[in-house]
Amino acid sequence: MGRTPGIFAWLRIGAADCMGGGMKGRVVFVTGTDTGVGKTVLTCVLARRLRQRGLAVAALKPVCSGGRTDARLLRAATGAELGLDDVNPWHFRPAVAPLLAARQIGLRLRRTDVLARIVPLRQRFDYVLVEGAGGLLSPLGEDFDSRDLIVGLDAWPVVVCPDRLGAINQVLLVIEALPGRFAARAQVVLMSRGRASVVSRGNRQILAERLGAARVHMVPRLARGLITGRRRLAPDLGRTLDRLVGL
Active-site annotation, residues: 61
Please classify residue 190 by burial: count the beta carbons closer than 10 Å to its beta carbon, then call 0-12 exposed, 13-18 middle and 19+ buried: buried
Position 34: which residue type?
Answer: D
* Cβ count within 10 A of residue 201: 12
Task: Report the run of H or E that residue 1 belongs to, with start and end.
Answer: none
Q: How far apart (Å, rounded) are the C-alpha atoms in residues 118 and 26? A: 12
- Residue 190: DSSP 8-state: E
CB burial readout 220-240, b (16+ within 10 A) else e: bebeeebbebeeebeeebbeb
- Residue 211: DSSP 8-state: H
Reference 187, options 147, 160, 169, 163; nearest CA is 160
Which residues are CB-neighbours of 206 under 8 A, at least 6 positions away?
168
